[in-house]
Amino acid sequence: MTSSNNQESNTAKPSTTLRSRSPLIEKKPRISRIWILPIIALLIGLGMVYNDWRNRGILVQVEFDTAEGLEAKKTVLKNRNVDIGLVKKVSFSEDKLKILVDIEVQQSMASFLVEDSEFWVVKPRIGATGITGIGTLLSGAYIEVSPGNSNIEQFEFVGLERPPVTSLSADGIHVKLISKGSKTLNVGNPVMHRGFEVGAVESRVYDDLEQEAHYDIFIQAPFHNLVTQNSSFWNVSGLSISTSTEGIKVNMSSLDTLVSGGVEFDLLDGAAPGPGVPQNHEFILYDSQDSIDEQREYKYIQYVVLVEDSVGGLHKGAPVEYRGIRLGTVAEPYMEFWEIIDIAGVGREERIPVVINLEPERLMKNGYISIDIFRGMVDEWIREGLTATIDNANLLTGSLKVSLQPGGERVDEIAQFGNYPVIPASSGGFASLTDKLENILAKLEKLPLDATLKNINELIDSTDSTMQVTAESLQRATQTLDTLEQTMDELQTTLSGLQPDSKVYRSVQQVMSKVESTLDELEPLVKEVTNQPNALVFGEPAKEDKQPKSKPLKDD
């Protein structure tokens, strides 16, 4: 049994040994460990992409005329010196006329991207407001953005070539000015009110069709309340010098306006402030304060003057005066031939029709009078004898004006020339002088000048003969005086031989005394005739009347 058991045990051992030597089969993982690092790298990359996407800014595009100072990956976008974006790309537009700048703006600054936001390049500039952008000489140019007030998002903009003068968030009023004068303004010029700077010129555009300049100005608060509907704006560029009967007048608003120019506004002639104006209200910009009365637009009524004199020197815009007071303006110094035919219905009109505008506001600058009431006043003046003449306005330039004055012939009805009422014309200026000279010459021609000259010649001849007789009489008188003088000498000799007590001596003495007194009386006459021979004919000149003298007043 033992052997059998041993045998069995022996036979069993090989089988156990064989089992222990069989391979062990284990299940391997489906994903190899070698992929752990790539997966981790992928996850990190996805995290970076997600983080980059999450933090990526908003891409906007701004259009400029030039790319001066702009570089991709370097030029930044700023607002009040804080970086809020970066230029990613600089390229041309499809037509190659504009520069397109792609800017990445931070997500947190999305409120800056609205339709009225403004972009411009900050770089060194020299302008009317001085030198700006000096700091960019070292740091380089950058793009500045000014956020708008709109709530509408926008991602494409047109950049400004110059920085705005005022911020969009500034409180005040924007006003438009229209100028047809020759004086120009620059962006940045100051806006003045009674010597104080209250705003600035923001932009300017020239309309070549209307031939006028358009300016946008901004007046900051609280001075914007000074702008009313009856405010006047005028150019104060440079130095203005004018002369008048009061002397020399020099106008200069400020040192800034003397150098670069500017605009001033105010109420004129002590007018009361009118109602306020809305944003972008339009005003006329006048060349100067003195030209406001000449260039402003007035309400008017039209009349015509049929002139027989020359209108050379009468131009459009010439003054129309009533007794020296400006009342209107010449609208048309003459009508064309076809206009005369259409209006008058005749092919020939010897008189020259001059159309004038009568403007009642010139008489009442701070008041109001209706056109109908003013027309009735002028019509009544015409019925009472109002006339118009063409007079000289300036002797140096030869310019003319229309003068209205009363004193003409009264009329029952006012004549019409087409649709224009007629103001009767009278001669004036050189024509009036010519008429007066013709009248004087006509009167001189009627005078009997030949007979008058004949009488004058006869009178001269008679005077000459009288003077000759007078000269002969003087000569005889002189001889008589000489004879008397000799006689007196002889009598003196005779008296020396007589006794002083004798009768003969006394008689001769009396005769000599009478002769001497007579000679004394004749002496002044002889002197006067000798000095002025015509005194015997015309007498001596009249002497001035004696003036009574008053006694001096005594002080109380």
For the segment 79-108, what is each residue's pLDDT rounded down to a tens digit?
Answer: 888 999 999 999 999 888 999 999 999 888
Beta bridge partners of 79: 82
**Structural tokens at position 57:** 């800014």
pLDDT computed for residue 64 by the predictor? 92
pLDDT at 39 over 50: yes
Amino acid at 41: A
pLDDT computed for residue 437 by the predictor? 63
The angle formed by the CA atoms of residues 89, 93 and 95, to the nearest 5 degrees, is 160
- The 10 Å Cβ neighbour count of residue 40 is 10
Pick the residue with more confidence: 555 or 103? 103
pLDDT computed for residue 2 by the predictor? 47
pLDDT at 341 over 70: no
Element (H, E) at 394: none
Q: What is the average per-residue pLDDT within 480-491?
A: 68
pLDDT computed for residue 246 by the predictor? 47
Q: What is the average per-residue pLDDT within 270-285?
A: 87
Q: What is the average per-residue pLDDT within 364-387?
A: 83
pLDDT at 143 over 80: yes
Query: What is the tens place of the pLDDT at every residue in 512-544?
Result: 676 667 666 666 766 666 666 655 555 555 555
Q: What is the average per-residue pLDDT within 365-393?
A: 84
Measured between alpha carbons, how far is residue 68 from residues 100, 117, 123, 498 in Å?
Answer: 12, 21, 9, 143
Q: State the chain's mean pLDDT as an integer.
A: 76
pLDDT at 140 over 90: no
Query: What is the tens place of the pLDDT at every residue in 224-253?
Result: 999 998 898 998 875 555 544 445 555 655
pLDDT at 359 over 60: yes
Q: What is the average per-residue pLDDT within 419-441?
A: 71
Q: What is the average per-residue pLDDT within 284-293?
A: 82
Of 313, 183, 165, which is closest to residue 240 (Cα–Cα)?
Answer: 183
Whether the CB-CB separation of 374 and 411 falls below 8 Å is answered with: no
pLDDT computed for residue 554 by the predictor? 53
Report CA Rg, the chain: 57
Query: What is the tens place of the pLDDT at every residue in 316-340?
Result: 888 888 888 888 888 888 766 545 5
pLDDT band at 1 (very low <50, low <70, confident <90, very high): very low
54 vs 42: CA distance, rounded Å:
18
pLDDT band at 151 (very low <50, low <70, confident <90, very high): confident
Q: What is the average per-residue pLDDT within 503-513?
A: 66
pLDDT computed for residue 556 by the predictor? 46
Per the rule left: phi > 0, alpha: psi between -120 and 50, beta: everything else, 310 is beta
Task: Locate the domains of the chain by residue range.
Answer: 54-158, 172-294, 298-439, 448-496
182 vs 186: CA distance, rounded Å:
13
Lowest mean pLDDT among 133-142, 205-214, 341-350: 341-350
Query: What is the tens place of the pLDDT at every residue in 393-409?
Result: 777 777 888 889 888 88
Cα within 13 Å of Cα(273), Cβ side: 10
Q: What is the average per-residue pLDDT within 432-439?
A: 62
pLDDT band at 68 (very low <50, low <70, confident <90, very high): confident
pLDDT computed for residue 303 by the predictor? 92
pLDDT computed for residue 101 by the predictor? 93
Q: What is the average per-residue pLDDT within 21-38?
A: 70
Pick the residue with more confidence: 50 or 497? 50
pLDDT band at 175 (very low <50, low <70, confident <90, very high): very high
238 vs 259: CA distance, rounded Å:
6
For residue 460, what are the contacts with CB-CB under 8 A and spacing of at least 6? none
